[in-house]
């Protein structure tokens, strides 16, 4: 079925509620593809996107508006669906194919994009669900067939979460050094992405995992997903307690929160020569005594979502072996505002996936 128009859940005011609107859809041209959305995951970033920016610390906010994002915005960047219309130049993708959509589109031409890292484009990001209309809709228009990864027989709701939570976790894990069975890796924050991190770490590394989250239900889910230990960061003397439980041998920490307290905990938890990967976008400022860089010889790295190749590899990995599964909370798209509210208040375990 070709869509001449599409129903999109969009906000037309920064911080405002989402309303459904009907937009005309021009006929596909060139390499364009229309995908009928069957599932779209909800990401914590959606809260920042709706708010219009990120907390940069010191009372400063980044602004999507200043960076050129125009209202109305249709969010949703974890999209799975069926190819229903293809442009005349499309090859290798057939009508009816079930695909997960890579949403982190760049200009395709700058020095970073040509290395395959379109998600880090230096020029003109064209992310689905931010600059371009995303998956909180009946259908989504994708500019080129190369952004589609067929999912075969994978469960659609799960494959949807690969496009952000999955590749964000995978690309952060890829930045860790080799670990042994005696090493520990700390996962700070066990929301949708952190939980995916726990699941992938247990499938991809030998190291033991210590999960850190204030929410007991999330800690339980992390233990079920392959973590050996789980702690509330609010316990008295958290740093000492967690370090001791891990024999003082935390080789790496991934901070899936990205707040001042979580990054400080992550940096202090790792042993000498430890690696810290900062992924979360909660916001704030990072402070650390400068001598500690040298004295501990630590490495601190940032990691933002992941590349198209990460998505292809994650789909292949999931087809090859059974990965531990993060909890999914599948809901109708018409309840998107309630779902955003639940996510705001930490009432979601695992990932919300919306269905039009
Ligand atoms: Zn996301
Ligand atoms: Zn670029």
Q: Which ligand is nearest to the CA of 112?
A: 2
Query: Distance between the two ends of the chain, CA-based, in angstroms?
Result: 16
Q: Which pLDDT value is given to residue 40?
A: 98
Q: Which ligand is nearest to the CA of 41?
A: 1
Q: Which ligand is nearest to the CA of 115?
A: 2
* Interval between CA 119 and ligand 2 midpoint (Å): 8
Q: Which ligand is nearest to the CA of 343?
A: 1
Domain residue extents for the chain = 5-164+306-355, 176-302
* Interval between CA 120 and ligand 2 midpoint (Å): 7
Q: Which ligand is nearest to the CA of 119?
A: 2
CATH 3.40.50.10310 fits domain 176-302: no
CA distances from 149 to 35, 161, 271 (A): 12, 13, 39
Q: In which band, very low, low, confident or very high, does the pLDDT at 327 lie, cut at 50, 70 and 90?
A: confident
Q: Which ligand is nearest to the CA of 134?
A: 1
pLDDT 10s digits, 50-92: 999 887 778 887 899 999 999 999 999 999 999 999 999 999 9
Angle in degrees, 0-180, between the axes of helices 260-269 and 238-245, rounded to the nearest 10: 40
pLDDT at 31 over 90: yes
Angle in degrees, 0-180, between the axes of helices 216-224 and 192-204, rounded to the nearest 10: 20
* Interval between CA 130 and ligand 2 midpoint (Å): 16
Answer whether 37's CB lies under 8 Å from 356's CB.
yes
Query: 148: which 2 tokens?
Result: 């589609």
Q: Which ligand is nearest to the CA of 47?
A: 1
CATH number of the 5-164+306-355 domain: 3.90.180.10
* Interval between CA 188 and ligand 2 midpoint (Å): 31
pLDDT at 324 over 80: no
Q: Which ligand is nearest to the CA of 76?
A: 1
* Interval between CA 230 and ligand 1 midpoint (Å): 24
* Interval between CA 164 and ligand 1 midpoint (Å): 5
Q: Which of 259, 127, 100 is nearest to 194 (CA)?
A: 259
Q: Which of 1, 21, 9 is nearest to 335 (CA)?
A: 9
Q: Quote the CA–CA distance of 333 and 356 in Å, as a whole number.
A: 5
Q: In which band, very low, low, confident or very high, does the pLDDT at 42 lie, cut at 50, 70 and 90?
A: very high
Query: 14: which 2 tokens?
Result: 């920064």
Q: Is 40 helix (H, G, I), strand (E, B) or coil?
A: strand
Q: Where are the beta strands (DSSP E) in the chain?
A: 5-10, 19-24, 33-41, 55-57, 60-61, 78-86, 98-101, 139-142, 148-150, 184-188, 208-212, 229-231, 250-255, 275-278, 299-302, 328-332, 351-355
Q: Quote the CA–CA distance of 161 and 80 in Å, as a whole number.
A: 9
Same fold, 5-164+306-355 and 176-302: no
Phi and psi dihedrals of 184, rounded to 5?
-120, 145
Q: How many CA atoms lie within 13 A of 4 on its CB side?
A: 0
- Mean pLDDT taken over the chain: 95
Please give the torsion angle defined by the CA atoms of residues 54, 59, 65 and 69, in that order, rounded to the nearest 10 degrees.
-10
pLDDT 10s digits, 243-256: 999 999 999 999 99
For the ranges 31-40, 121-130, 343-352, which has the lowest average pLDDT?
343-352
pLDDT at 1 over 80: no
* Interval between CA 72 and ligand 1 midpoint (Å): 19
Please give the torsion angle defined by the CA atoms of residues 231, 232, 238 and 243, in that order, rounded to the nearest 10 degrees.
20
pLDDT 10s digits, 275-312: 999 999 888 999 899 999 999 999 999 999 999 999 99
Kindly calculate the radius of gyration of the chain based on its CA atoms and give it in whole angstroms. 20
Listing DSSP states for 147-182 in one string gives GEEE-TTS-HHHHHHIIIIIHHHHHHHTTSPP--TT
Q: Which pLDDT value is given to residue 55?
A: 79
């Amino acid at each position: 079925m070709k869509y001449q128009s599409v129903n999109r859940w969009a906000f037309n005011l920064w911080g405002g509620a989402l309303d459904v609107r009907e937009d005309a859809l021009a006929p596909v041209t060139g390499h364009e593809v229309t995908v009928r959305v069957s599932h779209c995951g909800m990401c914590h970033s959606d809260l920042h996107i709706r708010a219009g920016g990120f907390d940069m610390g010191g009372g400063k906010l980044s602004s999507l508006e200043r960076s050129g994002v125009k209202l109305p915005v249709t969010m949703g960047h974890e999209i799975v669906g069926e190819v229903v219309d293809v442009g005349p130049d499309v090859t290798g993708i057939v009508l009816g194919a079930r695909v997960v959509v890579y949403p982190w589109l760049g200009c395709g031409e700058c020095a970073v994009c040509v290395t395959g890292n379109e998600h880090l484009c230096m020029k003109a990001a064209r992310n689905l669900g931010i600059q371009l209309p995303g998956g909180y809709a009946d259908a989504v228009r994708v500019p080129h067939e190369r952004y589609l990864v067929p999912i075969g027989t994978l469960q659609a709701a799960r494959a949807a979460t690969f496009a952000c939570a999955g590749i964000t976790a995978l690309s952060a894990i890829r930045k860790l050094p080799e670990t042994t069975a005696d090493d520990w890796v700390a996962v700070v924050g066990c929301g949708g992405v952190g939980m995916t991190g726990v699941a992938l770490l247990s499938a991809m590394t030998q190291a033991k995992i210590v999960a850190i989250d204030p929410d007991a239900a999330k800690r339980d889910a992390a233990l079920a997903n392959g973590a050996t230990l789980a702690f509330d960061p609010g316990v008295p003397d958290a740093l000492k307690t967690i370090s001791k439980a891990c024999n003082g041998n935390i080789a790496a920490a991934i901070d899936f929160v990205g707040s001042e307290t979580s990054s400080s905990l992550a940096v202090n938890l790792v042993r000498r020569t430890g690696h810290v990967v900062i992924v979360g976008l909660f916001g704030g400022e990072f402070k650390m005594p400068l001598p500690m860089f040298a004295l501990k010889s630590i490495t601190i790295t940032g990691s933002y979502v992941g590349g198209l190749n990460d998505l292809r590899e994650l789909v292949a990995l999931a087809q090859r072996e059974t990965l531990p599964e993060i909890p999914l909370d599948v809901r109708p798209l018409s309840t998107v505002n309630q779902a955003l509210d639940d996510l705001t208040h930490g009432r979601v375990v695992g990932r919300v996936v919306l269905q039009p």
